[in-house]
Amino acid sequence: MLGIVCSLITALTCVDAAITLTQEPIKTVSAGQQVVLNCNIQRYDRNYVSWYKQVPGGVPQYVLSFLHSNSLLTFGTRFSSDQFSSKYLSEIDFQVIIQAERGDSALYFCQTWDDSAEEDVSQ
C-alpha cells in the first residue's frame, strides 16, 4: 500500500511579526484518500492565505491562495481544483483539502501577509 505523507512545519515564527501561524503535525494517508490540513493565522488582516508544497530537497511550489472575503481561489502552475481545494472555518482558521495521489508526499505549509509587520509570515 502506498503511503502518502503530508507533513507541516511547526513553530516557525518571524521575530518581528505580530502573527504566528500554527498548523497540525504529520498526517499519513493512502493514495485516493482525502487529507485536510488546517492553518490558524491568529489575526485576520483581510489578506490571502496561500499554501505551498515542498518535497525534500526541493524548493517550495505555490499550490493555491484563498481570499476569505469573496471565496476567491487561485491555483499555481500544475495544481488544479481537481485535486486541491481550500475553505475557511472562521476568519482565522483555514484548510487545504487534498485528494491524495502518488507523488504528493511533501511538506505543506500556509502563508499570509502580516499588515502590522509588513511582511509575509509562513508556517
Residue 96, beta-bridge partner list: 37, 86
The pLDDT tens digits for 81-98 are 999 999 888 888 889 999
Paired sense of beta strands 61-67 and 34-40, if any: unpaired
Residue 116, pLDDT > 80, answer no
* C-alpha to C-alpha distance for 21 and 107, rounded to whole angstroms: 15
Q: Candidates 3.90.1150.10, 2.60.40.10, 1.20.272.10, 2.40.110.10; correct CATH number of 46-112? A: 2.60.40.10
What's the pTM? Answer: 0.77
- Tens digits of residue pLDDT in 32-54: 899 999 888 888 777 889 999 99
Domain layout of the chain by residue ranges: 46-112
Backbone φ, ψ for residue 21 (5° rounding): -85, 145
